[in-house]
């Protein structure tokens, strides 16, 4: 989860469900929901090839599409970096709306998969405030560029993540919701991109600017000293 600070609506008495917590669950989560797995390798993929986390809280594994909970059993649902993986987005969301009336979603935007195209991601997603649009990656021609994307994957694995850090709010999306919203499958990429007026200045330019200021100030001090 990149934007934990966006989770602001959990009340002290709320019962919180977290779906697919990976290895770093939210501290307010009371119950964790995971897909049932057949072997350790499959579960390792579910948690991003990280180690299992240890918890004294309840962890529930389920099969199929229906969550093993009653209607409105929870007050808040956290679903971070799961939606991009699910097969049936509409059924999955209907189950979340069934078991709770508010929560938080977070997922990568299309720009992230355009570069890295991780094969475990099956959906492009974008929320416009009223409707969550989604497109199946298999309906695009993105995989044709896998030899190019391999370069970016290798660069990320080698630790070159400066671009992600600089543009995090443009390649990831997170938002709270307090009522069910519309879900729409789309083939129009315009529904999946940001309406961008401007981008932030890269941090390296900011650093360069500061160094330039220091250099100029140093020159002035030298001139003052010589005079």
Whether residue 49 is predicted with pLDDT greater than 80 in this model: the reply is no
Mean pLDDT of 68-83: 98
Q: What are the angstrom distances between the C-alpha of 112 and each of 56, 118, 121, 147, 159?
A: 34, 9, 11, 16, 16
Q: What mean pLDDT is reported for the chain?
A: 87
Whether residue 16 is predicted with pLDDT greater than 50 in this model: the reply is yes
pLDDT-derived band at 195 (thresholds 50, 70, 90) equals confident
Per residue in 98-153, pLDDT (tens digit) is 999 999 999 999 999 999 999 999 999 999 999 999 999 999 999 999 999 999 99
Tell which CATH architecture fits domain 4-196.
3-Layer(aba) Sandwich (3.40)
Predicted confidence at residue 82, as pLDDT, reads 96
pLDDT-derived band at 210 (thresholds 50, 70, 90) equals very low
What is the H or E stretch that residue 16 is in? strand 16-19
Find out whether 187 and 139 touch, Cβ atoms under 8 Å.
yes
pLDDT-derived band at 201 (thresholds 50, 70, 90) equals confident
What residue spans of the chain are helical by DSSP H?
Answer: 40-46, 89-99, 110-116, 146-157, 162-166, 168-171, 203-226
* Proportion of the chain above pLDDT 70, given as a percent: 81
**Closest by alpha carbon to 186, among 124, 142, 144, 130?**
124
Global pTM value: 0.84
Return the domain boundaries, the chain: 4-196, 201-227
Predicted confidence at residue 172, as pLDDT, reads 97
Predicted confidence at residue 197, as pLDDT, reads 79
Predicted confidence at residue 196, as pLDDT, reads 81
Whether residue 56 is predicted with pLDDT greater than 90 in this model: the reply is no
Q: 202-221 burial, b if ≥16 CB within 10 A, otherwise e?
A: eeeeeeeeeeeeeeeeeeee
Find out whether 104 and 7 touch, Cβ atoms under 8 Å.
yes
């Amino acid at each position: 989860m990149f934007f934990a600070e966006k989770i602001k609506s959990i009340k002290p008495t709320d019962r919180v469900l977290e779906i697919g917590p990976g290895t770093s669950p939210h501290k307010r989560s009371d119950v964790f929901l995971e897909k049932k797995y057949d072997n350790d390798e499959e579960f390792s993929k579910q948690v991003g090839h990280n180690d299992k986390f240890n918890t004294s809280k309840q962890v529930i594994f389920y099969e199929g599409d229906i969550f093993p909970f009653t209607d409105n059993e929870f007050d808040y649902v956290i679903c971070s970096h799961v939606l991009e993986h699910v097969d049936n987005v509409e059924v999955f969301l209907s189950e979340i709306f069934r078991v709770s009336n508010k929560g938080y979603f977070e997922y990568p935007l299309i720009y992230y998969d355009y570069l890295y195209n991780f094969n475990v991601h099956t959906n492009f997603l974008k929320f416009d405030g009223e409707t969550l649009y989604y497109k199946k990656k298999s309906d695009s021609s993105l995989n044709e560029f896998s030899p190019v994307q391999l370069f970016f994957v290798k660069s990320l694995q080698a630790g070159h993540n400066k671009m992600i850090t600089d543009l995090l709010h443009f390649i990831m999306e997170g938002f709270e919701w307090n009522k069910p919203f519309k879900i729409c499958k789309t083939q129009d990429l315009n529904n999946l991109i940001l309406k961008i007026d401007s981008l932030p200045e890269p941090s390296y330019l900011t650093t360069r600017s500061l160094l330039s200021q220091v250099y100029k100030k140093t020159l002035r001090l030298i001139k003052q000293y010589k005079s």
